[in-house]
Amino acid sequence: MLGIDAYTSLYGIIGRPVRHSLSPAMHNAAFEHEGINAVYLAFETDSPRRAMDAVRTLNIKGLSVTVPHKETVMEFLDETDDTAKRIGAVNTIKNLEGHLKGINTDWIGALKALRAVTAIKDRLVVVLGAGGSARAVVYGLVKEGAKVHIANRTEEKARSLAEEFSCAFSGLDNVSEIEGEILINTTSVGMGPLAGICPVPASMLGKFSVVMDIVYGKGGTRLLQEARSKGCTTIPGIEMLLYQAAAQFEFWTGHTAPLDVMRQALSSPQADRKQRA
């Protein structure tokens, strides 16, 4: 890492939990590779309002935003681009001399991860979840011409999101009956205390050709393990993480993101320890 001095710019990620995040490893590797005097840290907080006060007061140059703040942080920003407004969630903030601008790169990360293995247009895609990450994924899928079905534990929340994007929806009780070609999990099932749990019955996975999980962890989530056993092509969450981070880096710095360097950072011993945690 480059030497830290009085001119070092500060970037970071806010959320809770966030200590497991691999974003510091990626962004610090990218800063060093590009010769940018900056450091990226993880900040666990329950208050997006106070976090935005700190950004302005300490002149933090940019932030990533993760759960549970992607939606609530928007009211504390000075500007939100049209795409983030449409999605209803922000995962990236840039500090322009105290003027905080929010955008969303999650949808870019999801589409790039999917395009690497499959076509999307006209495909039947089942999205599990209806939170901030789901909103970004659904936005990208609809923009790409996919036929989307949203399935969520709370059916009313699925209905609300589906009406915004003209999609089909249902609760999770009858998820096995839903037809689809691609399955994407955007819920937190598979992470933290829910690690080792599959969000849907494993018996239904065989009908999907591609299964993607935005949750990431060492060895893959239970969902991806079960999907591989059924012969599905699987996409780990680390792929979406990489591509959305690359878009963040370019928004903050104006530099082309060093993808190979960032990908290598995700497999470093430090990153490996975090995924095991």
| Predicted confidence pLDDT, tens digits, the chain (277 residues) | 568 999 999 999 999 989 889 999 999 999 999 999 999 999 999 999 999 999 999 999 999 999 899 999 999 999 999 999 999 999 999 999 999 999 999 999 999 999 999 999 999 999 999 988 999 999 999 999 999 999 999 999 999 999 999 999 999 988 899 999 999 999 988 877 788 889 999 999 999 999 999 998 777 899 999 999 999 999 999 999 999 999 999 999 999 999 999 999 998 755 554 543 3
Q: Which of 70, 94, 101, 274 is catalytic?
A: 70
Which residues have a Cβ under 8 Å from the Cβ of 175 and sit 6 or more positions away?
126, 128, 151, 200, 201, 204
Q: What is the pTM of this model?
A: 0.91
CATH numbers and ranges of domains, the chain: 9-104+244-276 (3.40.50.10860), 108-235 (3.40.50.720)
- Which amino acid, 115? R
> In angstroms, how far is CA 67 from the centroid of its own chain?
9
Residue 85 a catalytic site member: no
Helix, strand or coil, per DSSP, at residue 237:
helix
